[in-house]
Amino acid sequence: MARFSQGLIRVVMVLMGMMMLTGCVYHRTLGDFAAPDGVRIHYYEQGRGEPVILVHGFAVNADLNWRWVGVSRALARDYRVIAFDNRGHGLSGKPHDPDQYGMEMVEDVVRLMDHLKIPRAHVAGYSLGGYITLKLMMMHPDRIISAAPCAAGWERGDGENMRRIGEMADRLERGEGFKPILRALDPKEDPFADLRMLTVDACLRYMNDTKAMAAAVRSISALEVKEWELRANRIPALTIVGSEDPLKKGADALSVTMTNHRIVVLKGANHHSAIKRPRFARELKKFLDQHREKGR
């Protein structure tokens, strides 16, 4: 009984924390610009130095992914950090058409750079942001100094994960929420798994437009990269991934296929906890420091 009570307290604290963070997110003062299709993209900046653009993961936003875990603050000591809300997320526009996601999310990074008059930047992404970063490397290598597609990897368009993604979009559209996605990213069972899933699912439903989320999920197959593109890569690349992350298999495939790439595995970390590890920010900053453009 005591163990159950402790677990319930942890879940309630997570719920309260996410609610408070959501309130903070929606009272920020942000810059913004309009993409050609009319979708407005919101962003924030902090720090000075070479620009680093941070691309967040699915169903969260720039603050929750980067700011509240301390990554953007750690980088802003030496870099100009620019983090934005992907279309469909946070304070950015939320279209319901899958054609307004996929490659449009990739192009939004370039549009942000053009809006801020940044010719080249370091780019780091996490989870969905990692896949966006990887595709960006293939499509616009001239705009990138270095890249860190983290908690992500190489997924083939005809692979099992892509099939599952379509099923998850169907379930989102049917109103079943985020539990299938949460379970896929955290497959280990524990006594409080169901309660935790219900709590996080409730938070994500509160924060997001589920139709926009379903559209974003359906577009992920457009982010596929080809083997020849990975082997032709010349951009310094780093993947940081947890040893318990289900997406580590794709990260491993990337590490043995992609030229000019290395991988850092955080022992014991899963998909959700890796970015919270102090080592994540340290490894990312060390990588950026090694590939500064100025002074070469």
The rounded distance, in Å, linking the Cα atoms of 94 and 215 is 10
Q: How far apart are CA 52 and CA 124, in angstroms?
A: 7
Query: Minimal CA–CA distance to 292: which of 74, 6, 52?
Result: 52
3-class SS of residue 172: helix
- Report residue 155 as tokens: 């997924």
Residue 104 to residue 163: CA distance in whole angstroms? 21
pLDDT in tens, 179-216: 888 888 887 756 556 777 888 889 999 999 999 999 99
Q: What is the pLDDT of residues 111-141, one digit of tens each?
A: 999 999 999 999 999 999 999 999 999 999 9
pLDDT of 151 reads 97
* Residue bearing tokens 């966006």: 132
Q: Which domains, ranges and CATH numbers included, belong to the chain?
A: 30-156+224-290 (3.40.50.1820)
- Tokens of residue 169, six digits: 């979009």
| For residue 3, pLDDT beyond 90 | no
Sign of CA dihedral 113, 30, 206, 6: positive
**What's the confidence (pLDDT) of residue 12?**
43
